[in-house]
Structure 1
């Protein structure tokens, strides 16, 4: 039953991946991004729109104190969609209450340019564990010890890892990796990178999906899943994902070099 539930989730995720870009391409022609313009907006702002790095950090890694997400290395098309959703009020900024106004202040080309720029902010390194090399991020997500010392409740990493890898079939919860890839490293173009994301942001967004405060997910996939997650589940998931390495032991290939698959088998 566990295997069949996970495989079914993989099939649904793959089907959505195939269909979504086809329908998107039928409506909007491809527009090339200007990374230089994106960098300028990110670092300097544009008009009344402040510099993105004023909230998301100079390296785009986000801020747990502000509740802002990591943008560095995120899938470009996913960021474009989020900015478009903020600009059209399909998504509401319930954290800083500024993203709707900021997104409206940028043109469609500007939004695409910023998305393209932050997607290039990647910083990987190789570490050796038990005699095997592994690709990890030089700058990971949140400092959990620091958060805990400041009174933030932290979950149990191994329980979060279990849901990411296998889901909870007895509760109808699919494995996160069936859509988001190994350790949440993201699947281009619609499933975002959640591995390495800020702890606070993961917690807040899962609760927003669960409570109906965020509804801009394709086919309501995240809303359906989040409604089945307890507060404990959410803390456990965020605890594992925020510092999850993008590859398994013995694998030093860049995540974007991998074909779509739920399990890292090579």
Structure 2
């Protein structure tokens, strides 16, 4: 079956989808992106992702390439053409193509790219049954991590270190010893007294859309919750830990730098939140 992408008004075969060589996203990482999950034909947290896209664009003074209602139609048409019921849709907006200069072009025409990826299942059974490992690394990113920028080289390096260590993710750590977040996920722990903890939103982290929904779902399920920083040592002493993202939902973490978390098995709080999120996502807007 052909796979299609969308580039600046055109639905193209995936292998033919290209952007200009002087696109500022390619030359300066001058752009932002979002990833929205499709589960059983429903878009998970679509409104939250588009609201964060709007914020990222405003923070970088990049104009919307199309109006949000039009973008929603483009998303659904691309999903339809790719016959997707479970997977992800990737949206990227850059300041567009212009002669290479650090200053903004005077009349930029932004670039809009959408691609999809089919997913058979969200999380391998072994990962969900046994949990995954994370390593900890220094956080070397820029000071505006709250913008979902395409400038991801520090995260690429961190993910590669995780792969080489046989881990699922790398947790980035500030100089004070506190965990900021994973390279592509938010970090969570459940303390010994049952408190769910994740770092408060600021320019130090990207406030995940899945993260925001999990906070609401925790409240609805009577799970005690606190937004604050936690150290690597506290995480290693925790009862449970997990990571969250649009593509993994809730993934249990059972090892941190090789140290077992709790009894070394996925815990009940993480399992409960994962199931609650899946049920919530399955009620999202239809792709039709």
TM-score (normalised: structure 1): 0.29
Rg larger in structure: 2
More strand by share: 2
